[in-house]
Amino acid sequence: MTRPEALAALHRALELSRELFEVADCGDAALIAVLDAERRGLLKSAKAALRPMDEKERAVIDAIAELNARSLGRMEHRFRAKCRDMDMLAAGRRAVRAYGDTRT
C-alpha cells in the first residue's frame, strides 16, 4: 500500500469512527460490529505505510482514538441501563410471585 492510499484508508477509518459513534447511541450491535471490523481492517492495512507518522496523520489517529473511547462510553452506558432495566423486571417478577396469591 502506498502512503497516499494509506492516508485515504486512515481518513475512511475516521469516517467509520464517526459513524460508529452515532450508531453506538442506537445500540445496533450487529452494525457496530460490522463498522468496527471494517475500520480495524483499514487501520491494519495502513499501519506499515504510515511509518513514520507526521503530525497530521497522528492527529487523525488521535481523533479515531477519541471517538472510539466516546463510543465505548456510550455503549457502556446503554449496557448499564439495560442491566438496570433487567434488575427492575426481575424485582417486579419476584414481587408478583410473592404477592400474587394474596388476592382477596
pLDDT digits 0-9 by tens, 43-75: 999 988 888 889 999 999 999 999 999 999 999
Rounded CA separation 81/77 (Å): 6
35: cell is 463498522
Supply the angle between the helices 3-26 and 29-47 in degrees, to the nearest 10: 160
pTM for the model: 0.80
pLDDT in tens, 8-51: 999 999 999 999 999 998 888 899 999 999 999 999 999 888 88
Number of neighbours of residue 51 by Cβ within 10 angstroms: 9
Contact partners, residue 68, CB within 8 Å, separation at least 6: 17, 20
